[in-house]
Amino acid sequence: MSGNLFLDRAIADRDEIQQYLDTKVDLKKGQKLAVESYTYFPINTLVSLSVILKNGYIAEIRQIGRDGVVGLLNFIEQNASLTTATVLSAGSAYRIKADVIHDIFERSSQFRMTTLQYMQAVMQEASQNVVCSRFHSISQQCCRSLLAAADRTGSQTVYLTHEQLAVAIGCRREAVSLAARQLQLAGIIHYNYGKIIILDRKEMETRACECYYTIRKSFSPFLPPDEAGMTNKDDRLTVEI
């Protein structure tokens, strides 16, 4: 097993990509990744894809961990990305040159099919996040984001600040701090600056909105099924004011 669940699903024994799995790089928190030249497959790190506006505000598109790929456009030889890839938590990743990954995508049918399945999950996540931001409370969104980050790093300790969490769900930091304090008082998490430990995952799953479960189901081919409680949730849209 490579440690990146996308690769574990995409690689056939005969695929030449295996020779590149020894090419690991250490990524530092805050590091900007050169996605124009390389594709990254995170192992135990979390990477943010974001757009930086002219006024300096940052809008996060999504987070990527061991479930996915940073530099997806390189697969189709389109490396003029409008997003910035920033490492949120230190860790390691496989790094493969853009032209190499494009050639592998062109030659390997298994790699292409896995990529298309992954892209479908990414589109589902984008749609669900729009719904979530409109209809669910900040507390529910915090639970969703923390659970997703834990899934993507394979750890119940998430290295995110309140500011980074606020950027992830698109709200003010003060609102996240209030929600985090309530979760800590309830014994669900413990946090200090830049480190959040999920103490009671089952209760956090109960408090999360159904968006977490919808997104988790979309990415289930790229995540171990036994690492989340996956409490059954009603599929109907709920609104909390």
Indicate the SS3 state at residue 113: helix
Q: What is the pLDDT of residue 228?
A: 44
Q: What is the pLDDT of residue 56?
A: 78
Residue 21 is encoded by which pair of tokens?
């799995």
Q: What is the pLDDT of residue 148?
A: 96
How is domain 122-227 classified at the CATH fold level? Answer: Arc Repressor Mutant, subunit A (1.10.10)
Indicate the SS3 state at residue 238: coil
Q: What is the pLDDT of residue 79?
A: 61
Q: What is the pLDDT of residue 179?
A: 96
Q: CA-CA distances (angstroms) from residue 56 to 7, 59, 140?
A: 35, 10, 27
User: Which residue in this structure is represented by tokens 């690689």?
Assistant: 11
How is domain 5-108 classified at the CATH fold level? Answer: Jelly Rolls (2.60.120)
User: Which residue in this structure is represented by tokens 């790929």?
Assistant: 69
Residue range(s) of every CATH 1.10.10.10 domain in the chain:
122-227
Residue range(s) of every CATH 2.60.120.10 domain in the chain:
5-108
Q: What is the pLDDT of residue 86?
A: 96
pLDDT in tens, 111-156: 999 999 999 999 999 999 999 999 999 999 999 999 999 999 999 9
Full DSSP string of 137-179: -HHHHHHHHHHHHHHHHTSSEE---HHHHHHHHTS-HHHHHHH
Residues 46 and 68 sit within 8 Å (Cβ to Cβ): no
In this prediction the pTM is 0.88
Residue 50 is encoded by which pair of tokens?
């974001």
Q: What is the pLDDT along the chain (241 residues), one digit of tens a residue?
A: 779 999 999 987 556 677 777 689 999 999 999 999 999 999 999 999 999 888 878 889 999 999 999 999 999 876 667 889 999 999 999 999 999 999 999 988 999 999 999 999 999 999 999 999 999 999 999 999 999 999 999 999 999 999 999 999 989 999 999 999 999 999 999 999 889 999 999 999 999 999 999 999 999 999 986 554 444 444 333 333 2
Q: What is the pLDDT of residue 230?
A: 47
Q: What is the pLDDT of residue 43?
A: 96
